[in-house]
């Protein structure tokens, strides 16, 4: 062991870092940005889930609990009638609603507090918040008189038989395909640039569109095989809940893969080495993992982050996949139509951007 030789290597590494400002910036800035984002996401006074309060109670108890709920800071509660609550629950603008039936006070006097909690059911976070807020409101409204609290929970989608994997699985299929396809394409296209073969291709009669579409088909094909595998595994080995059409899941995943291929081609322009291409992971992937609603529902994010979430392509893929797999939506569902259209628009946008980076006459 020779200290001088060891230090020679260390010094050389530091010299290389000094030349690569981007890597340095990434090492020192990216963790702070990601942590700040996460901090803001979780502590930034995210919007409380919207909850409806429907009181059909003929006695006083329903009103008392409702008053407590309306004051709760855990949820953003508002009173409404039952048909409105049902509509809004279906439209996804309510995380849930609490129903105090006509006999609520009566049964309360008999010692059973039995509110009905209707939950949207596709997102575990808000569901827990709703149940928690209702429980707290009940405790506030009642003197502890040994009454039994037995809320009846009704799920619009899914239900209590869904576990975390069911919620995450749908979204993770999208994330896995997007992430892997993006990385493989960007590195592979970068190699095409660095090894000089792209220069060579540009000196042939190949058109830009032909290169982009060729890439799209090649990687798209591999991505689809991957998607089949991921889907079969999640559906038949992990038994993830799926109410919708497997074909529709495919369409969503294929769109996402096409978008990822072209995003990879486009972003490869901004990297000189494969090392730098890998740096896109924290820049492109990390924010989408945090903000696309996979782990934290978009609707409960702080408002400014919601704007950001709503321009991320993965957000729509996650919505779409949950729409199909948890709600069983089909092409007649407006929400799914929107997700598909956004997916198409994103794919078209990145195809255009990718083709634009292949301009001839550019060094």
Partner 1 sequence: MRALDGVSLEVRRGEVYGLLGPNGSGKTTLIRMLVGLVAPDAGEVTVLGTRMPDLEVLGRIGYMTQAAALYTDLSVEENVRFFAAVTGAEKNVAEAIEIVELSDRRDSVVATLSGGMRQRASLACALVHQPQLLLLDEPTVGIDPQLRVQFWEYFRTLTAAGTTIIVSSHVMDEAERCDRLGLIRNGHLLAEGSVDDLRRQAGVDRLEDAFLKLSGGPAE
Q: Which residues bind partner 1 (CB under 8 A)?
A: 195-197, 199-207, 360-363
96-100 and 116-119 strand pairing: antiparallel
- Quote the CA–CA distance of 216 and 330 in Å, as a whole number: 26
User: 164 vs 204, which CB is nearer to partner 1?
Assistant: 204
User: 1 vs 362, which CB is nearer to partner 1?
Assistant: 362
CB 265 within 8 A of CB 13: no
User: 12 vs 200, which CB is nearer to partner 1?
Assistant: 200
User: Quick one: which of 100, 109, 111 has its CA closest to 152?
Assistant: 100
CB 48 within 8 A of CB 75: yes
User: 42 vs 206, which CB is nearer to partner 1?
Assistant: 206
**Cα distances (angstroms) measured from residue 251 to each of 215, 230, 245, 339:** 19, 14, 10, 11
Cβ 354 to partner 1 shortest distance, Å: 19
User: 168 vs 202, which CB is nearer to partner 1?
Assistant: 202
Cβ 356 to partner 1 shortest distance, Å: 16
Cβ 280 to partner 1 shortest distance, Å: 22
The strand pairing partners of 211, in sequence order, are none
Cβ 209 to partner 1 shortest distance, Å: 12
Cβ 210 to partner 1 shortest distance, Å: 9
User: 215 vs 346, which CB is nearer to partner 1?
Assistant: 215
For residue 241, how far is the Cα from the chain centroid? 17
8-state DSSP, 149:
E
Cβ 199 to partner 1 shortest distance, Å: 6
- Quote the CA–CA distance of 214 and 112 in Å, as a whole number: 67
- Quote the CA–CA distance of 59 and 108 in Å, as a whole number: 10
- Quote the CA–CA distance of 80 and 51 in Å, as a whole number: 10
- Quote the CA–CA distance of 216 and 263 in Å, as a whole number: 11
Cβ 193 to partner 1 shortest distance, Å: 10
Cβ 24 to partner 1 shortest distance, Å: 29
User: Going by C-beta distance under 8 Å and a sequence separation of 6 or more, which residues neighbour residue 30?
Assistant: 282, 283, 286
- CB atoms closer than 10 angstroms to residue 217: 12
For residue 83, how far is the Cα from the chain centroid? 30
User: 82 vs 272, which CB is nearer to partner 1?
Assistant: 272
Please give the angle made by the CA atoms of 115, 116 and 117, to the nearest 5 degrees.
115
What's the residue count for the chain? 363
């Amino acid at each position: 062991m020779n200290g001088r030789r060891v230090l020679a290597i260390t010094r050389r590494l530091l010299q290389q870092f000094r030349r690569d400002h981007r890597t340095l910036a990434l090492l020192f800035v990216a963790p702070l940005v990601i942590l700040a984002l996460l901090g803001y996401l979780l502590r930034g006074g995210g919007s409380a889930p919207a909850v409806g309060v429907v009181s059909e109670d003929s006695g006083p108890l329903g009103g008392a609990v409702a008053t407590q709920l309306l004051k709760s800071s855990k949820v953003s509660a508002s009173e409404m009638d039952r048909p409105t609550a049902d509509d809004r629950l279906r439209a996804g603008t309510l995380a849930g609603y609490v129903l105090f039936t006509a006999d609520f006070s009566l049964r309360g006097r008999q010692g059973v507090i039995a509110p009905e909690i209707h939950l949207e059911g596709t997102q575990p976070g808000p569901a827990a918040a709703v149940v928690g807020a209702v429980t707290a409101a009940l405790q506030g409204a009642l003197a502890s008189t040994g009454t039994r609290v037995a809320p009846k929970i009704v799920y619009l989608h899914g239900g209590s038989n869904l576990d975390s994997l069911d919620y995450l699985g749908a979204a993770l299929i999208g994330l896995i395909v997007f992430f892997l396809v993006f990385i493989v394409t960007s590195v592979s296209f970068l190699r095409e640039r660095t090894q000089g073969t792209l220069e060579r291709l540009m000196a042939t009669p190949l058109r830009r569109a032909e290169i982009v579409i060729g890439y799209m088909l090649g990687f798209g094909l591999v991505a689809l095989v991957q998607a089949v595998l991921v889907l079969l595994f999640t559906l038949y080995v992990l038994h993830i809940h799926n109410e919708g059409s497997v074909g529709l899941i495919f369409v969503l995943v294929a769109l996402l893969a096409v978008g990822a291929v072209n995003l990879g081609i486009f972003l490869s322009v901004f990297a000189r080495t494969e090392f730098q291409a890998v740096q896109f992971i924290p820049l492109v992937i990390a924010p989408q993992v945090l903000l696309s609603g996979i782990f934290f529902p978009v609707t409960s994010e702080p408002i400014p982050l919601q704007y950001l979430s709503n321009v991320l392509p993965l957000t729509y893929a996650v919505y779409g996949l949950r729409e199909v797999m948890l709600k069983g939506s089909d092409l007649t569902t407006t929400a799914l139509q929107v997700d598909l259209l956004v997916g198409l628009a994103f794919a078209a946008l990145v195809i255009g951007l990718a083709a634009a980076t292949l301009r001839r006459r550019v060094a």
